[in-house]
Amino acid sequence: MHKKLKIIALIPARGGSKGLPRKNIQPLAGKPLIAHSIEVAKKSSLINRVIVTTDDKEIAGIAKKYGAEIPFIRPAQLARDDTLPFPVLKHALEFLYEKEQYKPDIIVWLEPPNPVRDARRIDDAIRTFARDKKADSLRAVCEPDVTPYKMWTLKGKYLEPFVKKNNRAIHGAPRQGLKKVYTQNGFVFLFRYDTIMKKGNIFGDRILPYIIEDKFVNIETKEDLDFAEFYFRRAKKLKK
């Protein structure tokens, strides 16, 4: 990258969670879940600031302990179950500009439920995004275990193919002959400042993929947390 870009990591961590209460501060591999996202962001060689946006004072205290900035407490109306990322991002960017006249070039969005990350690949994603001047955003994706071309939906009480081609079902076709599809995996999302503040959404017109082949961990339930604990223990043993 030719010029020094202002790059911030923004980590969303509200206090409420229905599937797994207090999810963002549940212990995982000896530290609160949110700490994994903070620490990997701080290890990045390209991220200048690490900010946690939360409505919860306990989470704020823990985030500070692990080195994140807490420049504000997120309003309760932006921390509901149905709150989408866009208003949370917009609120954070508006606050930083109003209080500090600070406008980051790139926002790195790291959701705590995906704790299996490494700074090297985050930096690689940032460089990939920074090089493509036409891209408005980037998101990490991988190939799903099940393609939507093999899925079904209900029409009344009967099944019908979820995807049709020329009004014909293609669910019986070999997978190799089907169009390749990807699912986002939560490893990392990148946005340009103007995508959020001028285009008014998190996507923009051109979304750059960052393709990751290995599996990912997404923690939504106690069972997910138990699996993640097993994953970290196994990874630690393999390093010995």
Choosing from 180, 199, 227, the residue where a domain stops is 180
166 pLDDT band, cuts 50/70/90, is low
Each residue of 208-239: pLDDT tens digit? 999 998 777 899 999 999 999 998 888 777 76
**Domain limit, last residue, from 180, 201, 230:** 180
Q: Are residues 101 and 187 in the same domain?
A: yes
How many CA atoms lie within 13 Å of 102's alpha carbon, on the beta-carbon side?
16
Residue 195 lies in a domain: yes
What are the pLDDT digits (tens) for 107-160? Answer: 999 999 999 999 999 999 999 999 999 999 999 999 988 888 888 899 999 998
Stretch among 20-29, 46-55, 153-162 having the lowest mean pLDDT: 153-162
Considering the domain boundaries, does residue 111 fall inside one? Answer: yes
User: What distance in Å separates the CA atoms of residue 160 and residue 149, rounded to the nearest whole number?
Assistant: 11
Strand-pairing partners, residue 69, are: 51
- Are 98 and 172 in a shared domain? no
Alpha-carbon distance 191 to 197, whole Å? 10
- The verdict on 217 and 233 lying in the same domain is yes
CB count, 10 Å around CB of 5?
A: 13
Whether 1 maps to a domain, the answer reads: no
Structural domain ending residue among the three candidates 165, 180, 195: 180
Alpha carbon 144 to its chain's center: 17
Whether residues 41 and 154 share a domain: the answer is no
Q: Answer yes or no: do 52 and 153 share one domain.
A: no
In this structure, the answer to whether residues 103 and 199 fall within a common structural domain is yes
Q: Is there a single domain that holds both residue 34 and residue 83?
A: yes
Q: Is there a single domain that holds both residue 86 and residue 159?
A: no
> Domain of 18: which CATH number?
3.90.550.10
Pairing of strands 168-169, 152-155: unpaired
Residue 2 included in any domain:
no
Residue 73 domain flag: yes
Total number of domains constituting the chain: 2
Q: Is 170 exposed, middle or buried (0-12, 13-18, 19+ CB in 10 A)?
A: middle
% residues pLDDT > 70 (the chain): 94
User: Does 58 map to a domain?
Assistant: yes
Q: Domain check: are 11 and 61 in the same one? A: yes
Contact 218, 113 (CB under 8 A): yes
Ramachandran category for residue 156: left, alpha or beta (phi over 0 → left; psi -120 to 50 → alpha): left
Q: Do 155 and 139 belong together in one domain?
A: no
Q: What is the dihedral of CA 222, 26, 92, 207, to 10 degrees?
A: -40
Domain span including residue 216: 7-143+182-239
Indicate if 55 and 154 belong to the same structural domain: no
Same domain, 159 and 61: no
Rounded average pLDDT over 78-92: 97
The C-alpha angle 57, 60, 65, rounded to 5 degrees, equals 130
Confirm whether 219 is domain-assigned. yes
**What percentage of the chain carries pLDDT values higher than 90?**
78
CA–CA separation, 191 vs 153, rounded Å?
33
